[in-house]
Amino acid sequence: MLIEPRVFQDERGEFFETFQAERYRGITSVDFVQDNFSHSKQSVLRGLHYQIECPQAKLVSVLQGEIFDVAVDIRKGSPNFGKWVGVSLSSECRKQLFVPIGFAHGFCVISESADVIYKCSDVYHPPGERTIQWNDPELAVEWPIKTPLLSPKDAVALSLAEAPCFNIGVKDRCLS
Q: Which candidate in 24, 39, 49, 50 is catalytic?
A: 49
Interval 108-126 mean pLDDT? 95
169 φψ region: left (φ > 0), alpha (ψ -120 to 50), beta (else): left
Interval 9-34 mean pLDDT? 73
**Catalytic residue flag (residue 118):** yes
- Percent share of the chain, pLDDT over 90: 73
Q: Which domains does the chain have, with CATH numbers?
A: 2-167 (2.60.120.10)
Contact 107, 148 (CB under 8 A): no
Q: What whole-number distance in Å separates Cα of residue 11 and Cα of residue 70?
A: 34
Interval 21-36 mean pLDDT? 78
pLDDT tens, position by position, 137-162: 999 999 999 999 999 999 999 999 99
The pLDDT, as a whole number, for residue 14 is: 63
Of the listed ranges 12-16, 37-41, 57-61, 82-86, the one predicted with least confidence: 12-16
Sheet holding 34-41, edge to edge: 2-3, 96-99, 58-64, 113-120, 34-41
Flag whether pLDDT at 170 surpasses 70: no
User: Which pTM does this prediction carry?
Assistant: 0.87
The pLDDT, as a whole number, for residue 126 is: 93
Of the listed ranges 66-75, 91-100, 126-135, 161-170, the one predicted with least confidence: 161-170
DSSP tag of 155 = H
Flag whether pLDDT at 130 surpasses 80: yes
Q: Which candidate in 24, 50, 105, 118 is catalytic?
A: 118
The pLDDT, as a whole number, for residue 28 is: 66
How many beta carbons lie within 10 A of that of residue 140, not counting itself? 10
pLDDT tens, position by position, 77-101: 999 999 999 999 999 998 999 999 9
Comparing 114 with 30, which gets the higher pLDDT? 114
